[in-house]
Amino acid sequence: MGTLMHEHETAGDVRAVPAQILDQGFRLLVLREFRMPDQPPSLAWIQQYILRDVHRVQRHGIFFGATFLPEIMQWLSDLLGRPSLHPGDYPASPAYKNPAWPILSWYRQDRGWADGQQTVEWFADVAFRDEASFAAFLARWLERLKGFESQG
């Protein structure tokens, strides 16, 4: 994917950084958690152009989930079909997740900074089910994976 645009040198930097390419997927930095003694944690949203804002305010608090931006959802739906499928006897049987869709999960990494701060870096890991769909995703969304806002 080339060289990194930049790496964060301070904990307060929230600019987009390139995704890490994995085997049939990628790892994208989306949150930075700050923990101070005797205080609730605080979070910084890292700028990126692949996923929707990961926080959702709900009735009982804040939920963190990884969902693609609408234009990427549409592109994936065109490529892989709808994310949720209905069996032939629907609604007697429930809808189910399309097995061709990528799997999204969380990955955490503790990080120490030059100024002594300690943070938790939260990444979204995206794993595609096959090489062909991942190759198509890379071909279409590579600039965004590199941390650029282009390719609308």
- Separation CA 144–CA 140 (nearest Å): 9
The mean pLDDT value of the chain amounts to 88
Task: Supply the pLDDT for residue 16.
Answer: 92
Q: What is the pTM of this model?
A: 0.85
H/E stretch holding 34 reads strand 25-34
Q: Is a pLDDT exceeding 60 seen at residue 1?
A: no
Q: Is a pLDDT exceeding 80 seen at residue 31?
A: yes
